[in-house]
């Protein structure tokens, strides 16, 4: 299940991509399939080891084009172990809402992004997320949990302050918002509640089968209750030193 829309976020074979806070690796895997040279970075060692196994399996199965590469590594988003201007593309999906120093993370992403490079940032959308926080303290008051809810204009302002130029936004995963509302209403750790189990089965069926009816429904509902807010931006080229 991808949150970044690659039809709005072009990726060329050979692009060097950083998937920052990659988690289980969903965006890193898609970039690898598209022929990119991917670095998937996360502070969770267990997840990184699983991502590395999947990269190896994809290579063995011939899922990645010739020239594509993939590396999984542990690292700190506030102190990236890369030189300046190392990447053509940076993706950070559902991560910034967890990090106290979000401005520091943005600064690091800008530092390692090449001029003219592209960045995709996704966070939980304000409205659906606010419902979750209202229904359940346990949803966000956990170690490593969500510490803030972004309004769209607030996130875009931070992106601009970091020196990036936003060029597009959209919402995603509308069908997932009711699932999380149910989880929060019945208990975030209570997966046995009948409404939660039933809706989870619907989501799994939707992800596996991708039926036209749910694709159309989600597209129509995304502007209203999309679970994620997605912003795309570029890093401008600086004028030559001494230019007027």
The three-state secondary structure class of 19 is strand
The pLDDT assigned to 204 comes to: 95
* Element containing residue 90 per DSSP (H, E): strand 87-93
* Residue 164, φ and ψ in degrees, nearest 5: -100, 160
Rounded Cα distance, 126 and 110, in Å: 24
What is the chain's pLDDT, residue by residue, as a tens digit (244 residues)? 899 999 999 999 999 999 999 999 999 999 999 999 999 999 999 999 999 999 999 999 999 999 999 999 999 999 999 999 999 999 999 999 999 999 999 999 999 999 999 999 999 999 999 999 999 999 998 888 899 999 999 999 999 999 999 999 999 999 999 999 999 999 999 999 999 999 999 999 999 999 999 999 999 999 999 999 999 999 998 765 555 4
Instruction: Specify whether the backbone of 210 is left (phi greater than 0), alpha (psi in -120 to 50) or beta.
Output: left
Q: CA nearest 120: which of 73, 170, 80, 154? A: 170
Q: Which residue has the tokens 């700190």?
A: 76
Rounded Cα distance, 99 and 121, in Å: 14
Residue 238, class by beta-carbon neighbours within 10 Å (0-12 exposed, 13-18 middle, 19+ buried)? exposed
Beta bridge partners of 113: 87
The three-state secondary structure class of 124 is strand
Rounded Cα distance, 143 and 137, in Å: 12
* Residue 202, φ and ψ in degrees, nearest 5: -60, -45
Single pTM value for the model = 0.94
């Amino acid at each position: 299940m991808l949150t970044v829309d690659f039809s709005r976020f072009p990726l060329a074979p050979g692009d060097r991509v950083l998937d920052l806070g990659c988690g289980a690796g969903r965006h890193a895997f898609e970039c690898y399939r598209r022929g990119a040279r991917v670095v998937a970075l996360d502070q969770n060692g267990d997840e990184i080891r699983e991502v590395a196994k999947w990269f190896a399996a994809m290579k063995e199965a011939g899922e990645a084009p010739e020239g594509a590469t993939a590396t999984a590594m542990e690292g700190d988003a506030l102190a990236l172990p890369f030189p300046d201007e190392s990447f053509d593309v940076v993706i950070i999906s559902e991560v910034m809402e967890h990090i106290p120093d979000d401005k520091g993370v943005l600064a690091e992403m800008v530092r390692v992004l090449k001029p003219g490079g592209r960045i995709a940032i996704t966070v939980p959308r304000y409205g659906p997320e606010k419902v979750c926080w209202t229904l359940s303290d346990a949803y966000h008051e956990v170690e490593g949990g969500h510490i803030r809810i972004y309004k769209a204009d607030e996130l875009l302002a931070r992106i601009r302050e970091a020196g990036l130029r936003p060029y597009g936004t959209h919402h995603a995963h509308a069908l997932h918002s009711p699932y999380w509302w149910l989880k929060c209403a019945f208990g975030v750790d209570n997966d046995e509640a009948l409404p939660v189990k039933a809706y989870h089965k619907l989501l799994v069926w939707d992800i596996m089968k991708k039926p036209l009816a749910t694709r159309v429904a989600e597209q129509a509902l995304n502007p209203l209750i999309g679970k994620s807010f997605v912003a795309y931006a570029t890093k401008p080229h600086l004028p030559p030193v001494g230019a007027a």
